[in-house]
Amino acid sequence: MTDAKDNASPFRAIRAIDYTVILARDWAAMRRFYQDILGFPLLRELSPRWIEYQVGSNTLALAEPQRLASDLPTPPGSASLQLAFKVARDDVDRCAAELTQKGVALLEPPTDQPFGHRTLFFRDPDGNLLEVYADI
C-alpha cells in the first residue's frame, strides 16, 4: 500500500516566492525608475545586468534578457506582468502624489474598490503594470 504523501508532488514543499525577476528591456530607464522614482533600496549588484532591490522581506531583481528570455519585447501598452505593493491606507494617496510629482503618469488614481482595497495603478518604463494598494 502506497502512502499519499509518497505520491505528493515535490512542488508542494515550496513555501514562498524567494525573489521576483523583471526582465528589463530599457535597462537605464528601469534601473532609474525602481531605484530613484520608487526609492527601493539597492540590495546588491551581481553583474552589470543583474541588480537586486529589497522590497520588504522580498527581493526584486532587474535582469537583462539573455539566453533563456530572448523573446520580443512586450508591445507598447501591453503589460507582461503586474506587481502589487501593499502599504498602509494613507500611503496610497501619498504614493500617488509622489509619483505625479516625479512625472509618472497614473493609469488610475487612488480608488476605493468594492472588494476592500484602495488601489493606485501606473506603469514602469517597460510597460509593466504596477499597483500600490491597502486594505480598507
Q: What is the pLDDT of residue 15?
A: 80
What is the longest distance spanned by two Cα atoms in the chain? Answer: 66
Q: Which parts of 1-128 are beta strand (E)? A: 19-23, 42-47, 50-55, 58-63, 82-86, 106-112, 117-123
**CB within 8 A of 43, min separation 6: which ones?**
52, 53, 54, 59
Residue by residue, DSSP assigns 95-134 as HHHHHHHTTPPEEEEEEE-TTSEEEEEEE-TT--EEEEEE
Task: Give the C-alpha separation, 74 to 48, whole Å.
Answer: 23
Q: What is the pLDDT of residue 117?
A: 95
Q: What phi and psi values does residue 106 have, to the nearest 5 degrees? A: -90, 135
Q: What is the pLDDT of residue 30?
A: 95
3-state SS assignment for residue 62: strand
Q: What is the pLDDT of residue 68?
A: 60
Partnered with residue 106 across adjacent β-strands are 122
Q: What phi and psi values does residue 13 have, to the nearest 5 degrees? A: -80, -15
Q: What is the pLDDT of residue 86?
A: 94
Q: What is the pLDDT of residue 133?
A: 94
Closest CA to 58 of 79, 46, 33, 40: 40
Q: What is the pLDDT of residue 65?
A: 80
The mean pLDDT values, 10 residues at a time, for the chain of 136 residues are 65 81 91 96 94 94 76 70 92 95 96 95 91 94
Strands of 82-86's sheet in order across: 82-86, 129-135, 117-123, 106-112
Q: What is the pLDDT of residue 70?
A: 63
